[in-house]
Structure formats: C-alpha cells, structure tokens
Amino acid sequence: MFKVSYFLEVLPVIASKVNVTFELTIVATFFALLVGVVIAVIGYYKIPALYQFTRVYVSIMRGTPIVAQLYFFYYGIALYSAFVRDMTPLIAVAVVMSLNMGAFMSESIRGALLSVDEGQKEAAYSLGMTNIQLIWRIIIPQAIRVALPPLFNDIINLIKQTSLAFMLGVPDLMGAAKIEGARTFRYFEIYAAVMLIYWIIIFILGLVHKFLEKKCATMY
Amino acid sequence: MGTETQLVKIEHLYKEFDADTKVLADINLTINKNEVIAILGPSGTGKSTLLRCLNYLTVPTKGAITIGDVTVDAEHHTKRDVLELRKHTSMVFQGYNLFKNKTALENVMEAMTVVQKKSKDEARKTALELLDKVGMSERRDFYPSKLSGGQQQRVGIARALAVNPNVVLFDEPTSALDPELVGEVLNTIKSLAEDGTTMILVTHEIGFAREVATRILFMDGGRIAADGTPEEIIDHPENPRLKQFLNFVNRK
Ligand SMILES: Nc1ncnc2c1ncn2[C@@H]1O[C@H](COP(=O)(O)OP(=O)(O)OP(=O)(O)O)[C@@H](O)[C@H]1O
Ligand SMILES: [Mg+2]
C-alpha cells in the first residue's frame, strides 16, 4: 500500500530536480516570447511572403504533437545537420519548446495588437504622432493588458511541457522518478510525488494568473 | 473687412478611392482665421473625406492643401510634410477615440509632451486649463471607460485644443451621443466659437450650424454646391439640391 514514510523520503529527492524544470521554463519562455512577437508583428503588418510563411509555420506547430516535433528535430533533422547533432538534449528541448510555444504565443500577441481600434490610431496620427510613438505609447501598453493573461496561460503549459525533456534523457523530475523506480519499484509513491510537485507549481502560478487577469481587467 | 488672415487653402483637391469611386472633385476653398465653417450635405457626398484629407488621414489623389505656413501637394508629399500638416490641425471624432490607457488629463497632455516636447509641468498646466474650459476638471483622473459619451467627447475637444491648432476639425461630434448628451457637447463647441477658434464642423445639426457657424458649405456629389452665410444657406437657399436637402431634414 501507499507508504507515507517512503513518499516523504522520495519527495525531496525528486524535488531536487525541479531546477531543470525552472531553467527550461525560463529559457523557453524568453525565446518563445521573442518568436511570438516577431511572428505577431509580421502578422500585424501582413508583411508579404513572411506572412504566408508564418501562417504555415503556426499551423504546423499547432497542428502536430510536440513529441513528434521534438523527435523530428532531435533525431530527424540531426541526420542532416551537424549543428543539431552536437546539441545537448537539454538545449534541443529548449529549442523545440521555444519554437512550439512561440507559435501559440504569437496568436495571443497578434490578437492583442489587433484589439487596439483604428479610431485611437487615427487620433494619434491626427495629433501628429509618428508610427513609433503610436506603437510605444498607445498600442503596446494596451496590447500588454490584453495579452498578459493568455500568455501566462501559455507559460503554465510550458511548465507541463518540460517533462518532455525526459524523453531525450534529461534528468528532470521524470528522470529522477525513473531512476528511483528502477531502484525501489515503488511507482505509486514516486509518481504521486512527481504529480504533487507539478501540481503545486501550477497551482501557485494559477493563482498568479487569476490575479493578473483581475488586475488587467480593472486597470482602466 | 480686408484684415482677414487666410489659414486654410484647398486647391483643386480630388479624391478617388478607385476608378469607380470619385469622392471629391476639384474642391477649392479658402478659410480665414476665426471662421466657423459648418459643412452640411446628404450622406456619402464626401464631407468626412474632405475633412480627413485636410490632415491626410485620407490621402488625397490630387491637389494642394495649405494650413498655416505648410503646403502639401498630394502628388509629391513626404512623411515629414504630412506630420507638419498634422501639427497645424487637430480633429474631434464621431467616436471620441480617446486613448483608453490614459486618463482624461493624460489624453489632453499626450500630444503636448510627445509631439510638441513640452515639459510635463507645462503640459499639465495647459491641460488642466483646457479641462476646466470643457467642464471636465473634476474627472481629470478618470479613464475613458469611466466617462459618459458626452464627457468623453468634451475631453476629446480639450485634447484637440491642446496642440494649439490653426484649425480644429470636427466630424459629426454629436452623432454617436444619446440625445440628452448632445447639448453639453454643442455648448462646449459654441463656447469655442465665441472664443474665435477656427473650426470646420461636419454636422447634421442644422439648427446648431445656423446658430454657431459664420459660414456654411453645402456639399453634394463630391463638390461644394453652395457656400455662404447661414442666412443665405439656411434661410434663403437657392440651389435646388440644397432646398431638397433642407426640406428632407426639416421633415424628420
Ligand atoms: N476607405 C474608403 N474606401 C472606399 N470608399 C470610401 C472610403 N471612405 C469613404 N468612401 C466612399 O466615399 C464616399 C464619401 O464618403 P464620406 O464618408 O466622405 O461621406 P460623408 O459625406 O461623410 O457621409 P456621412 O454623412 O454618411 O458621414 C462614400 O460613397 C463612401 O462609400
Ligand atoms: Mg461622414
């Protein structure tokens, strides 16, 4: 049966790998945001050629499982690219997560940019503001308010996705669990511990998300 | 009078959105300082387009526009020309178009600090005076979402005055308002007229135009079909299309 003493013993062992999860999340969030902003701006201005390219890219990223993307990249592309072959598994996971989540984030960001109505832009132009002034002072502040809650949701999803790293042998929470399992065969307690740790992290972020959503809705 | 200073000059202005939609055809117009011009006319005759050509929100196809000391020729204009032209005008919109992320006060200050590069203190002082003038100083720290339509429009008027424009352009400033809020905005505009603000006002409020305008233009089919004093245009119309228009409006 469920052995509480073992559960309490294994919990810190597994939790000690949580830094991998955090590192991956932070790096992937940063680059996903970068990818997301670039794609969103291309979409906002409908830049020819690039726009069509990003539509296909986003569609593929959203329309295929991330595990398939990861294997395609790490095992598929590696056959033809020494650059990918030389990547550590951790970096490869970070790259795929950034590319994948960037596609999702671009949609949130593009929607937020489009949420600023034409009238306000005309008002800014009519007062003699330049495009840059309009973007920095009117569009971005309003777009952030709209984009923040969905982006935060994307980040929560990113955290769950970090467990993919395990599939390439990166010793994260799942990796630690596997090693423990091979030693003690107490999968029940071990994976309960894994789930508890993820759940606590996501739960706390969920609270932050709720707070942000409320704050953004009542800001002005 | 003879001492009038010319502020706006429109020469041979044409606008075609495409080959089939010729919206403005050879508009010529001179406007002097302190004139309050009302533009009347049936829907779709190009009133808004004319107004928007004056600040290049709509780019004309042909023709020259002079406002103050800036002349912009549609066929050879640069970005910088357009910015200069816009610094000499400002606009009050039917939908108010206040910046939603800024308070009433910040809306009025925005162009002074960002476009005119005035100091925050100076901009604030001017903005407070203007908000007072439009009766909105008590709500200076409110965001647009917390203001009624009439209040938003009065802030919109203060924002337009803040840049000290040569001419203020109004495109149906009361058309989106509930009837009970129209009065407060018209009164604000009237007080500007009394101060001698040069204005061009597209409106469907014939009575208001009759009372406040110093000159009325009647537009029809992309041209200025009649141009005269309120008495000439409203009380003694001669143009048959104008008569028809006034009859139609009066019947409503
Ligand atoms: N962006 C545009 N593209 C194509 N056609 C346009 C555009 N803007 C206006 N038009 C056309 O130009 C004509 C004049 O429009 P405008 O808005 O200037 O009329 P208006 O006199 O202001 O009418 P209203 O009293 O209804 O506001 C209309 O036939 C309209 O359909
Ligand atoms: Mg109009």
List pLDDT tens digits, range A51-71: 999 999 999 999 999 999 999
Chain CA centroid to CA A203, Å: 16
Q: Do A126 and B57 lie within an 8 Å CB cutoff?
A: yes
**Is the confidence at residue A146, as pLDDT, over 60?**
yes
- Supply B10's token pair: 């429109």
Residue B152 near chain A (CB below 8 Å): no
Give the mutation candidate from B54, B80, B82, B99 for the A interface (greatest A CB count, under 10 A).
B99
Q: Do B145 and A137 lie within an 8 Å CB cutoff?
A: no
User: Is A36:A105 a contact under the CB 8 Å cutoff?
Assistant: yes
**Is the confidence at residue A145, as pLDDT, over 70?**
yes
Residues of chain B with pLDDT under 70: 1-3, 252
- How far apart CA B198 and CA A38 sit, in angstroms, is 44
Question: CB within 6 Å of ligand 1 — which residues?
Answer: B 17, 21, 23, 41, 43-49
Mean pLDDT of chain A: 94
Q: Do A128 and B86 lie within an 8 Å CB cutoff?
A: yes
Candidate from B55, B57, B100 with C-beta closest to A120: B100
Task: Report the atom number in ligand 1 closest to the C-alpha of B50.
Answer: 18
Residues of B in contact with A220 (CB under 8 A): 100-103, 143-145
User: Is B147:B71 a contact under the CB 8 Å cutoff?
Assistant: no
Q: Which residue of A has its CA nearest to B116?
A: A128
Q: Do A122 and B57 lie within an 8 Å CB cutoff?
A: yes
Which of these, A23, A3, A19, lies nearest to A173 by C-alpha position?
A19
Candidate from B111, B114, B145 with C-beta closest to A220: B145
- How far apart CA B247 and CA B244 sit, in angstroms, is 5
**Is the confidence at residue A194, as pLDDT, over 50?**
yes
Model pLDDT, residue B2: 46
Task: Report the atom number in ligand 1 closest to the C-alpha of B47.
Answer: 21
Q: Do B110 and A145 lie within an 8 Å CB cutoff?
A: no
CA B183 vs CA A172, B199, B248: distances in Å: 68, 18, 23
Burial of A213 (0-12, 13-18, 19+ CB in 10 A): middle
B140-182 pLDDT per residue, tens: 999 999 999 999 999 999 999 999 999 999 999 999 999 999 9
E-assigned strand segments in A37-115: none
Model pLDDT, residue B1: 46
- How far apart CA B216 and CA A152 sit, in angstroms, is 55
Candidate from B57, B101, B163 with C-beta closest to A125: B57
Q: What is the ipTM of this complex?
A: 0.94
Write the Ramachandran bin of A185: left for phi over 0, alpha for psi from -120 to 50, otherwise beta. Answer: left
For residue B94, report the distance from its CA to the centre of ligand 1, in Å.
14
Residue B57 near chain A (CB below 8 Å): yes
Residue B91 near chain A (CB below 8 Å): yes
User: Is A168:A97 a contact under the CB 8 Å cutoff?
Assistant: no
Candidate from A129, A142, A220 with C-beta closest to B111: A129
Interface A–B counts its CB contacts (< 8 A) at 64
pTM for this predicted structure: 0.86
Average pLDDT over residues A174-200: 95
